[in-house]
Each structure stands twice: as C-alpha cells, then as structure tokens.
Amino acid sequence: MGQTVFIPRELDANEPRVAASPETVKRLAGLGFEVIVEKGAGLGSRITDQEFATAGGTIGTAGDAKNADVVLKVRRPTDAELKGYKSGAAVIAIMDPYGNDPALAAMAKAGITAFSMEFMPRITRAQVMDVLSSQANLAGYQAVVDAAAEYDRALPMMMTAAGTVPAAKTFIMGVGVAGLQAIATARRLGAVVTATDVRPAVKEQVQSLGAKFLAVEDEEFKAAETAGGYAKEMSKEYQAKQAALTAEHIAKQDIVITTALIPGRPAPKLVSAAMVASMKPGSVIVDLAVERGGNVEGAVPGRVVTTENGVKIVGHLNVPGRVAASASLLYAKNLYAFLETMVDKATKGLAIKRDDELVKATMLTDAGQIVHPSFAKAAETPRTEPAAIPATVLVADTADKKPVPRKRAAAKSPSPKPEGTA
C-alpha cells in the first residue's frame, strides 16, 4: 500500500476553505497515494463527500490523521491537531509563522516536517505553487464586491433621460496582486480608478488597466522594491510626503481599498483618522490588511464600522474565504503542484529533497528542529495556545453573513489568522 495523504476539515469556524479538490484528490491518487478526506471537509467550499469519494478519496474522520504521511491544510495546525499527527509526517499549509514562535516550537516538538506555503519563492518554477498570489487575486476581487455592497450608489456613470449618475471614484492603495485585481474589477464595474504604491515598477501596470497612478516619485521611491518583488518599508520622511499627497486625493474619493502588506512586519498605516474624517458621508473604505494591524486608522478586524461622519470602514477577516469555492480550487492546485515535486515517481512515495530551493525556502521544522533561518530563536519561546475566534465575528455590525460560521465541538484552539491575502 502506498503512503497516505490526509485532508482535514479546518477547525476554525471562520475558515470555509479546504486544502483539496476532487481534481487534486484524483491526481494524488494517480501519484500512488491513498487519500483520506475528513467527513465534511469540503462543505464550506461546496464540495460534497460524494464528490471526493468519486474522485478516488476515502471519507474518514479526524482520527485518520495519526497514520498520514502527508497532511494538507489551509491553516497552521493547532496543539490538538499536532497531538494527532505521527512524528515525521509532512504538513503543508499557510503557517503564518511571523510572531508565532511558540507555534513553531510546538510543531518542532511534535516531530513534523512543516512547510509554509506563503514562503514559496517568486521564481518561474514556483508560479503554480504561489498561494499568496492565488488567494490575494480573489481577495482583490472580493474587496471591490464588498465595497460595492456597502456603497449605496451605482459604480458606473449612467446617462439617462432623468439625469446623469456620476461614476464612483475609487482609490486603490497598494498595487500587488490584490491591488491589481481590485483595479481591474472596479474598472469593469465602471468606476473611475486611481492607485498608489511605493514600487515604481507597478506604475505601468496600473496605467495598462486604465487607472491613474499617484505617488511621490523621488529617489527613495525609485529603489523601493526588494529582489523578491515585495515592497520595502519606507522611511518616515517618505511616508509623510506620501500622506500629504494622498490626503487631498482621499477626500474626493467614494471608495478606498487598501492592500499594503510588508512580509514579517505590521501593515503600514496609510489612512489616518483625519483622512477618514475628510471623506464624504456614504463613502466606503475596505482594509484588506486589517489582520496585520490594518492600513486604516479605525478599522476593526471582523467588523464593518460606521464613523461619526458616515464613512463605512470594512474589516472583514479571511477575505479569500468569502469566495471559498474558488479559493479552495486554486489553493488545492497550489498544494498539489508543490507536493508533486517531492514525490519519487519510481517508488510512488514521498522523497523530500532538502537541498531543493523550494524545500529550503518553505521548510520550517524538520526532525524535531526549527530549520528555517528566519526563526532560529523560536525554539526558546514557550507555547501559548491562542484563544478561539468567535464564530459570529464576521457578521458583527453588518448584515452580510458570508462566510457562514460552522460549529464544531472540537474547535477549541483555532489558528487565529489566515495568511496575508494582499
């Protein structure tokens, strides 16, 4: 019998995504794996147990994890889940390791080989494995949909016999994958779009989508991108100049969507309380970075709040999970593509090549040790299990009830944050 891959149902009540699809289950079985999918794992993504079974999977229980050689997840395993894994199992997920040293130490102690998918390098070979891009793309789309739902006017300009409805002015702050998709989606809906970013390379991309680019284009701006394509943290002086430039612009906007994230650091503050106060009643701000501290002063994780001057600030958690069916299909393909690189085609078993650049970039723990150089001190930090996220947090202060909270008796120790979507 071949090795076993286990697909659990996520414990977090606010995580509807699943780490496999019928397509990837079929392909995993084709590689020689026995695939066990926990009962109900795909329901939040509109995938039934029967669909997984038809694809070649076996429907099991959480207890089947103890015999699994590979565990594919969406979120980092909790302490309770780690106790159910066998030593040496490969666990692949969005591990959210920054600021979570105790969790890394716990994974090392459990003896698992943990891979963090958000560390996948930005190289041609790894494009199909890039979970940040696949999930951020959907987050950018959903941000515009959420903004349109909260905005009480039409987005496109409409010229009628009764008069003209002006197009909504939309400002995208942060032009990564999420920002680019937000621009494209807002443009499709007929909004007039401007965008800003600290990286000069994105100016042409913004303009190619039909939006206008806004930035302080000084010498610091010209060098504001890492070798990996991410934004660098800008100096306080630059941030002040950029804030002055955008303050007047924001006051004229109907919709603002912020997506700026810096790997391993808190999200930069882009929109101050004064800027929010300058906006018109009925304006909407969507903060996609709210789980990393937020880009917007006054944003509250998991809530839609209305300020004294009538501006709505949207702080939904797990935005890719709000389009879970699509997000799971893409995420499952990301995981399959990565796992396939570690399978020996002759023996049809897992054969991790520890000198492979993808493995070195993503492996967090191995053989009881924390092996990723960025987290060398994590083993010294005592483990404290995070508190559970209330199942109703996503619908506080808003009538929108997506994703639907799911109750589960065992869900006592959820991992609190999905990976950065922007």
Tell me, yes or no, if 153 is annotated catalytic.
no
Is residue 285 within 8 A of residue 311, CB to CB? The reply is: yes
Tell me, yes or no, if 230 is annotated catalytic.
yes
Residue 334 CA to residue 252 CA, distance in Å, equals: 40
Tell me, yes or no, if 199 is annotated catalytic.
no
Is residue 51 within 8 A of residue 24, CB to CB? The reply is: no
Structural tokens at position 181: 């998709």
At residue 207, φ and ψ (nearest 5 deg) are: -65, -30
50, 127, 207, 369: the catalytic one is 127
Nearest to 24 by CA among 323, 344, 340, 322: 340
Structural tokens at position 327: 């997000």
Scored b (16 or more CB within 10 A) or e, 96-105 reads: bbbebbbbbb
CA angle 96, 87, 387 (to 5 degrees): 40
Is residue 269 within 8 A of residue 285, CB to CB? The reply is: no
21, 133, 135, 242: the catalytic one is 133
Residue 40 CA to residue 47 CA, distance in Å, equals: 9
Q: How distant is the alpha carbon of residue 307 from its chain centre? A: 27
- DSSP SS3 for 86: coil
Count of other CB atoms within 10 angstroms of residue 153: 12
12, 96, 101, 130: the catalytic one is 130
Tell me, yes or no, if 3 is annotated catalytic.
no
Residues linked to residue 323 through DSSP beta bridges, in sequence order? none
69, 79, 230, 383: the catalytic one is 230
Residues linked to residue 303 through DSSP beta bridges, in sequence order? 396
In eight-state DSSP terms, residue 231 is: B
Tell me, yes or no, if 151 is annotated catalytic.
no
Q: What is the DSSP string of 382-405?
A: PP-PPPPPPTTGGGBTSS---SPP
Report in angstroms the alpha-carbon separations of 318 from 48, 136, 393. 22, 11, 11
Alpha-carbon torsion angle 100, 93, 330, 142, nearest 10: -20
46, 49, 98, 122: the catalytic one is 122
Residue 67 CA to residue 71 CA, distance in Å, equals: 10
Helix axes 324-340, 22-30, angle to 10 degrees: 10
Is residue 40 within 8 A of residue 11, CB to CB? The reply is: no
Supply the residues annotated as catalytic. 122, 127, 130, 133, 230
